[in-house]
Structure 1
Amino acid sequence: MANNNSYRTAYAFAREMYPKKTKSHLQYGTAGFRTKATDLEHVMYRMGLLAVLRARYKKSVIGVMVTASHNPEPDNGVKLVDPHGEMLEQSWEPWATKFANVIDEKLEDTINELIKAFDITNMNDRVEIVVGKDTRPSSPHLAKAVCDGVLALSGKPIDYGIVTTPQLHYFVVCKNTNRAYGQPNEEGYYAKLTNAFKKIRGTEYTKGNYHNRVVYDGANGVGAKKIKYLKEALGDSLKVDMYNDEIIGSGKLNYMCGADYVKSHQTFPNGLPKDKNVRCCSVDGDADRIVYYYTDDDGLFHLMDGDRIATLAAAYLKELLQQTGIELNLGLVQTAYANGASTDYISSELNVPVAFASTGVKHLHHQALNYDIGVYFEANGHGTVIFSQNTKEKLRAGTRCNSFTEDQRQACSKFLTLIDLINETVGDAISDMLLVETILHEKGWDISQWEACYTDLPNRLMKVTVKDRNVITTTDAERICLTPQDLQDEIDSLAAKYPKGRSFVRPSGTEDIVRVYAEAGTTADADKLAAEVALKVFELAGGIGAPPEIPQ
C-alpha cells in the first residue's frame, strides 16, 4: 500500500505555498497547459506531483517542460514527456486536467484516487523527473514550482535549466534507454547531431547549386541561444547567420519573428535581411518547429513549410532505401491542414502511402508508428521521422552482409548515420534544419529547386470566436464536421463552387475559437471560400462579435 505521509505533505505544502487562486477551468491538450503565466503557479506544482506519480507507475524517468512555444511572453505553459520521449499518454490527460482544476481541499483525495486507479504501490521510490524551461521571464519561478511538486512526493528533480523542448525529450529517452540513444546532456545532444551531419556531408561543403549558408531566425528564444553552440560545433561545414537572438532584431520573444509568425503572415520576420534567393529559416520559441523561406528576383516571398519539409524528407529516404536494397515500409502522415498539392505529389509522384491524423504531433507520431519508416509533419513545421527497431536491425545487418554489394553496404551505413541526425522523439527545429541542409546538399539544390517539386494550392486560415468551442465535433482526422447539424453539408456545398475547393473546420484545443481552413485553385477563391465557411460557422455554431465579411 502507498505511503500516505508523502502525499499528505504534498497537499499541505500546496495549500500553503501554491494555493489555487483562479476560478478559470484549464484543459490539458495537445500542447499541455497554456495560459497567462500569472495563473499557472499552482498548476506547475501539481504537474510536479503528477509527474512523480506517472514515473512511479511507468517505472521510468518522466520529463516536464515549462514553455508556451510560439505564444507571446505574457503566456507560459507546461507539458509532460513520457518515457520514450512522446507526449503524455492521452488517457492521462484527464488526470492532468483534474489535478490542475481541483480545489485545494480535494487535492489529497485526487492524489489518492489516482494511486488507487493505477495501483501505484511503490510510493517510496525516488524516481527522477527531468525539468526544462524556455527563456520567458516567468519560467524560472514556474520551473521551481514544478521541482517543489516533485520534491513534495519524494521524487528527484533534475533541472536542466534553459533548454529547447526537443532537447528535454532527448534527455528523457537517453535516461530511459541507459544512454543507448545518446548521452543525456547538451554536449551529448550536439555531438550526436553534428557528428552525423559532418560525416554525411564530408569535406565538399558547396555542391551544385547548394551553398553552405543559411540565415537563421531564432525568435529571440531558446533556439537563438542553443544555435550558437551548434554553430561552433559545425565549424565551416555549415555557416549559420543568426538573427533575432536577443542582440540583433526586436529582442522580444516571438514578436514579429519566429516560425509561427512567418507561417501565419507569409512574410519575412523582423530583423532579417531580404537578400534575394538566400535560404532562410525560422524556429519558434521553444525550437520544436521550423519553416524555410526566401525572396525571389522579383522580391516575392516563398514559404517552404512543414509539407515541403515532409516531401523533401520522404523523397530522399525513399531514394536511400532503394539504394540499400532492403524492403521496408515507408509512409508519410499529414493533417487536414496539409496542402492538397503536397498530398497529390507524395501519393502520385513519389508513390509513398499517405495517412491522415488529427492535429497535434501526438496524433501524428502515433500514426507514424504503423510504418517501418514514418515521416510526419504538420504544415506549421512541427515534425520528424521515426524508425522502427526492425528498420535499424536490418540496416545494421546490411552493413556487414556478404551478399550485399559494396554500394548497398555503404547505403546502409549512410542510412544509420542519417538516423543519428534525426531526433526521433519529437519535432526538433535544429535537427530538422540539419536534415534539410543534408538533403539539399546531397541533391545539389538551391531552395528554388526544392520548391519546384510541386506548386501549392492557394489557401487561407481564419478563426471564428464562439460561445463554446465544444459545439464543434469532428471525425476522419478532423476533416469532417459532425456537429452542429448541417454545418458539414454547408461546407461541402460551398467548397463545390470553386475549382479544387476544399475546406474544414475544427475547434481550438485551448480557447473558444473555431479554426477554418480553405484552399482552392486561385487565391481569390480560397479567400472567399474561407470567409463563406467562417460565416456559416458563425451562424450555426454560436459566433460572437462581428460576423466574418465576404470579400467581393
Structure 2
Amino acid sequence: MTELPIQAIKTLSDAHPKPTGLTFQYGTAGFRTLGSTLDSVLFRVGILAGLRSKRLDGRTIGVMVTASHNPEQDNGVKLVDPRGEMLEASWEAHATAVANAASTEAFIEALSNLIVNAKIDLSKPARVVYARDTRPSGPALIAALEDGFKALGVEARDGGVTTTPILHYLVKAINTKGTKDSYGEDSEDGYYTKLATSFKKLLVGKAKPDPVVIDCANGVGAKAAEKLLEYLGDSLPIILENTDITTRGKLNDSCGADFVKTMQKLPPNLVDVMKPGQRACSLDGDADRLMYYCLDERGAFHMLDGDKIAALVAAFIVEQVKLAGLESDIKVGVVQTAYANGASTKYLAERLPVKCVPTGVKHLHHAAEHYDIGVYFEANGHGTVLFSPSTQQTLATHEPSTPAQSTALNHLLNLTQLINQTVGDALSDMLLVEVILAHKSYSGVEWNSLYADLPNRLVKVVVADRNAFKTENAERILVSPPGLQAKINELVKRYEGGRSFVRPSGTEDVVRVYAEALLKTQADELAFRVAGLVYDEAGGDPAKRPKEFI
C-alpha cells in the first residue's frame, strides 16, 4: 500500500460517526471518558495505531482499552510504543486532532496531514497487539477498534481480556523477540513465568511470608492474580478478595487502590477478613496501581501508599548495590510528584537523589531513565523501577570478589526480571514488596515505621473547564486563574507544617486539591478551605459542590 485506502476508511468511518458537541483529549491516560461516547474514537485509534506502526518501520504498537481506577461507566484507550512505554508525546496532539475531526471527510483530511507531517511511509507493514479490561462497554469498543484495523489493513493480534501491565509486557516482548535484549516470551504464560521464577529465586533461604490479602477491585486483576497463583505455587500464601468481574456495578466500587488512597481506610468488605497484625494490598481496575496497608496489633489501620513503597524499594536497592560493591558504578535515584508526602521526600533525600516532576507516569518514567537505577512511584501507588541498559550490562558482566557480593549481585539480576520495567504493574510491584519484606523480616507495622507520614487530604472540585487551570514548577505553583495562588499561599501560612497545591486532572473536568499539615484536623481543614477558594474563584458546578464546602 502506497496510499491510504480511502474507500475502505470512508465506508467504515461512516459506521462510526463522531458525536456532535463532544471534544476528546488525549491526556496522560490516553482518551478517557464515558464509554458510551467513545465508539468513533476507538475506530480512529485503530487506524492511528496502524500508522504509528508504519512510522516505526512495522514495529508492533499496543492498544489498551481501559479506564483503570475510574467508575465502571467510563472507558478509555491508550497507545503503547514499541519498548512498552507511553506513546511519544508529540503524537498526543496527532491523536487529539484525528479523534476530533467532525466528519468522515475531515477525518480523512486529518489522516492525510498526519502522514505528510510525520513522514509516514505507507508501504511499511502495520502491526498492533490489543487488549481490554473487564468493563461492560469493552466488547463494543473493541469491535470499533477492529474496524479501524480492517480499514487500514493492520496485522492485529488480540491479547484478550488482561491487565494493562501485561499488554505493555507483550508489546516489549514482541518487539525484542529473538534479539539480545529479549524481554521474555511474548505470551501471558511468559509474563507469569518470568515473575514467578525470579520471585522464587529471591526468596531462597528466607522464611515463607505470612498470607497477604489482595483486594482485586472486582477488575481484571482478579483474573491475572488467580493465574499468577498457579505459577507461584506455595511460595507466597495469598487470599484473593473482590474478585467478582461479572456483576454490573462492582468494578472499583468501595474497593481498589483508589478507594483506599482517597478514603484512607479498609474497603468495607475486608473489615471482617483482616486480622490484627495482617497486611493486605489493593489493585485498581486494570492492575497497574498498588496500595498496601496493614492492621497493627490493636487492629488500627495504617496505609502504605506509593511513597512508602518507594522508600522501601529504593532503600533496599541502594543496600544491594552497596553489598555488591557497585556503589561507585551505579547511581540510584528516586522520582516523585508534588503529591508525595513531605515526610517521604525528607526520608529519601537523606539517602539518595530525589527529583520532583509533574504528575503523570510519562513524566516520572522519563525522569527515571536518567538514573542508572531509577525508582519512581506516585503516591497513588503507580510506579516501577528502571535499570538502564548500561546498568544491566554492568550487572551481567561484573565479577564479584566475595560470596556476599555474589549474593547481592544475583539479587539485583533477579530484581531486573521480577520488576516490570515497561510500566507500573500492581502484581509485579506486590511481589517486589513481598521480597523486600521477607529479606528485611519486616511486618507491615515495621515497614510503616520507616517514617511517619504528615497528615494529608485530597479533595476534588468539579469545574466547567479544567483547562482554565495552568501550573508550573512541577505543578506546585498555579499560574492561572491569576491571583488564586497568592490566596492559597495566605491560607497555607496559617497552618503549622502546611503545604497545599492545586492542579487540573489529566482525565476529567475536576481540579484536585492536596493539603498537608502537622495535625489531621488541620490538613482536612486546609484542603477544604483551598477547595472552597477554587470553587469560588473558578465557578465550580453548583450541583456538584462537596458538602464540606457548605
Normalising by the residue count of structure 2, what TM-score does the alignment of the two structures yield?
0.95
The percentage of aligned residue pairs carrying the same residue is 50
Whether 1:89 and 2:91 are equivalent positions in the alignment is no
User: Is the Cα–Cα contact under 8 Å of residues 124 and 154 in structure 1 kept in the other structure?
Assistant: no
1:62 maps onto 2:61 in alignment: yes
Secondary structure of the 1:236 match is: coil
Q: 1:357 to 1:37 in 2, by over 3 A?
A: same
Quick one: structure 1 residues 151 and 203, their matched pair in 2 at CA, closer, same or farther if it must change by over 3 Å? farther
Q: What SS does structure 1 have at the residue aligned with 2:140?
A: helix
Any conservation in 1 of the 2:217–2:285 contact (CA below 8 Å)?
yes
Distance 2:384 2:203 in 1: 20
Identify the match of residue 41 of structure 1 among 4, 27, 39.
Answer: 39
* Mapped partners of 2:301, 2:511: distance in 1: 28
Segment of structure 1 superposing worse, 175-184 or 451-460: 175-184
Taking the aligned partners of 2:412 and 2:299, their CA distance within structure 1 comes to: 38
Name the CA distance, whole Å, in 2 between partners of 1:98 and 1:231.
Answer: 43
Task: Give the C-alpha shift of residue 175 in structure 1.
Answer: 1.2
Alignment of 1:90-489 (within 5 A): 90-103=89-102, 104-121=104-121, 123-179=122-178, 180-202=182-204, 204-206=206-208, 211-246=209-244, 252-272=250-270, 273-326=273-326, 327-348=329-350, 351-398=351-398, 401=399, 404-489=401-486
Alpha-carbon distance in 1 for matches of 2:482, 2:95: 32
The 1:425/1:5 distance shift into structure 2, 3 A limit, reads closer
Cα pair distance change 1:408/1:257, threshold 3 Å: same
Q: How far did 1:259 drift? A: 0.7
Unmatched runs of 5 consecutive residues or more in structure 1: none
Contact 1:386 1:424 in 2 (8 A): yes
Opposite residue 238 of structure 1, the aligned amino acid is L
Query: What residue identity is the alignment partner of 2:24?
Result: L
| Residue identity in the other structure for 1:283 | L
- Verify the 8 A CA contact 1:215 1:281 in the aligned structure 2: yes
**Structure 2: runs of 5 or more not aligned:** none
How far apart are the structure 1 equivalents of 2:196 and 2:509?
A: 43
Give a deviation string over 1:272-295, Cα, whole Å, max 9, x none. 213111111110110000101122
Letter in 1 for 2:269: G
Question: What count of residue pairs does the alignment treat as equivalent?
Answer: 540
User: What's the offset of the Cα at 1:548?
Assistant: 6.5
Counterpart code for 1:280: A
The 2-side partners of 1:150 and 1:3 are apart by 17
- What code does the residue aligned with 2:183 have? Y
d(CA) in 1 for partners of 2:246 and 2:115?
50
Which of 29, 32, 44 is matched with 2:30 structurally? Answer: 32
Whether contact under 8 Å (1:505, 1:517) holds in the other structure is yes
**Residues 143 and 549 (structure 1 numbering): CA distance in 2 closer, same or farther, change over 3 Å?**
closer
Query: CA 1:101 to 1:216, structure 2 compared with 1: closer, same or farther past 3 Å?
Result: same
Quote the Cα distance in structure 2 between the aligned partners of 1:540 and 1:74: 30
1-structure distance, mates of 2:396, 2:4: 50
1:514-533 correspondence runs (5 A):
514-533=511-530
Contact kept in structure 1, 2:206 and 2:438, CA below 8 Å: no
For residues 244 and 234 of structure 2, the distance between their equivalents in structure 1, rounded to whole angstroms, comes to 24
**CA separation of 1:387 and 1:362: change in aligned 2, threshold 3 A:** same
User: Cα deviations across residues 309-344 of structure 1 (Å, max 9, x unaligned)?
Assistant: 011000000000001111211100011010000001
Offset, 1:433: 0.3
Shift of 1:38: 1.2
Q: Distance in 1 between matches of 2:425 and 2:361?
A: 12
User: Residues 280, 250 of structure 1: CA spacing in aligned structure 2 closer, same or farther, 3 A cutoff?
Assistant: farther
Matches of 2:509 and 2:108 in 1, distance apart?
31
| Deviation of the 1:3 alpha carbon | 2.6
User: Are the structure 2 counterparts of residues 298 and 250 from structure 1 closer, same or farther at C-alpha, using a change threshold of 3 Å?
Assistant: farther
TM-aligned CA deviation for residue 69 of structure 1: 0.6
Over 3 Å counting, the alpha-carbon distance change for 1:107 and 1:27 in structure 2 is same
Residue 439 of structure 2 aligns with an amino acid whose one-letter code is E
Change (3 A) 1:63 1:531: same
1:219–1:245: 8 Å Cα contact kept in structure 2?
yes
Larger displacement relative to structure 2 (162-171 or 138-147): 138-147
**Which amino acid letter does the alignment assign opposite residue 302 of structure 1?**
H
Q: Give the partner amino acid of 1:461.
A: L
| Aligned counterparts of 1:149 and 1:508: Cα–Cα separation in 2 | 29
Distance in 2 between residues matched to 1:81 and 1:204, nearest whole Å: 37
